[in-house]
Copies of this chain bind each other. A is one copy, B any other.
Amino acid sequence: MADPRFYSVAGPFTLKEISEISGAKIAGDAAPETLFTDVAPLDRATKDHVSFLDNRLYTDRFSRSQAGTCLVAPALADKAPAGMALLLMDEPYRGYAAVVRSFHPQAKPEPGVAPTASVDVTAKLGAGCQIDAGAVIGPRAEIGGGCHIGANAVIGEGVVIADDCVVAAGVSLAFCIIGARVIIHPGVRIGQDGFGFALGAQGHLKVPQVGRVIVEDDVEIGANTTIDRGAAPDTVIGAGTKIDNLVQIAHNVRIGRGCVIVAQVGISGSTEIGDFVMIGGQAGLTGHLRVGSGARIAAQSGVMRDVADGVTVAGSPAKPAKEHWREQATLANLSKKKKG
């Protein structure tokens, strides 16, 4: 189903193989040797395709789908159309992730340095790196094995990148240490000066920024996101954290492990965020806050106070989500009364 212009496809795989890849159980008496050629969304899949249902919103599409097989939670299995082979599991989206990965294995770098790339003589490149056209790698930079540095990316002086990273087109990295298996999407800016000024009516005095950015293993950073280096402490992105596009992370921010930060979030200077925190799109956090592990911050929230472990906040100013929604309901009711 994937456009062959852009994607090659592995397989085909049998239903049994897909069951093993995903960890799902084949329902009923579906033939385990049936072959499937690719994944496809519910509304475009044909009998040769594997699809999935993870969001109840799409149950109708599921019921009308022509997909040959579908990963689905047992509770929704009875909505399946006749003739569809079902692959049952509690977390069908996780199973689907594994299936897509099998049909579409991640491209490996094609080792070599493009003739128009500029690699400083003092830089070190690990084995099997692909350095694309126009990429610039500065003095004393160290790049691990199996990395792919995209076209026109700029790796600054002294930057360290561990193994198996992808640095996409047009990225710039400076004053940073990047862990293994990190994916940095196009246009990301890491390590530039933080916004540090001693303000004053006689002019704002620039405070030189002498820290770094530390990006731990398995982080992913979305397109055109900006992460400033620390003022003197470091800015830190914990292992396994996933950051979406156009996010702003200011100097000295420390983000824990496994966080999920949706697009256009802004985190002000020196704020510290625990592990597995979820931050919805366009939320903003002021500086010098502490957000506890497992906290959840709703989209467009304006967080101005510390958030304890596991608490969900919403609104601007952000407060416990129930309180915020109760206030919204109160206002709506009062407004209706006024009218009535």
Is there contact, CB below 8 Å, between B258 and A284?
A: no
Q: Which B residues lie within 8 Å of A116 (CB)?
A: 116, 118, 134, 136
- Assembly of this chain: how many copies? 3
Give a binary string over A215-231; 1 marks a CB under 8 Å from any B CB, 0 the rest: 00010101110101001
Q: Does A309 contact B (CB under 8 A)?
A: no
Is there contact, CB below 8 Å, between B187 and A189?
A: yes
User: Closest approach, in angstroms, between the C-beta of A232 and any C-beta of chain B?
Assistant: 5
| Least CB separation from A248: chain B residue | B263
Summarize A's interface: helix, strand, loop or mixed. Answer: loop
Measured between alpha carbons, how far is A138 from B169 in the docked complex, in Å? 12
Measured between alpha carbons, how far is A302 from B328 in the docked complex, in Å? 13
Q: Which B residues lie within 8 Å of A245 (CB)?
A: 189, 195, 226, 228, 248
Q: Given A210-B7, A263-B248, A224–B169 Cβ distance below 8 Å?
A: no
Is there contact, CB below 8 Å, between A223 and B189?
A: yes
- Looking at the complex, which of A73-81, A121-129, A150-158 is the stretch in contact with chain B? A150-158
Q: Given A5-B158, A316-B300, A187–B187 Cβ distance below 8 Å?
A: yes
Q: Which B residues lie within 8 Å of A334 (CB)?
A: 330-331, 334
Is there contact, CB below 8 Å, between B168 and A151?
A: no
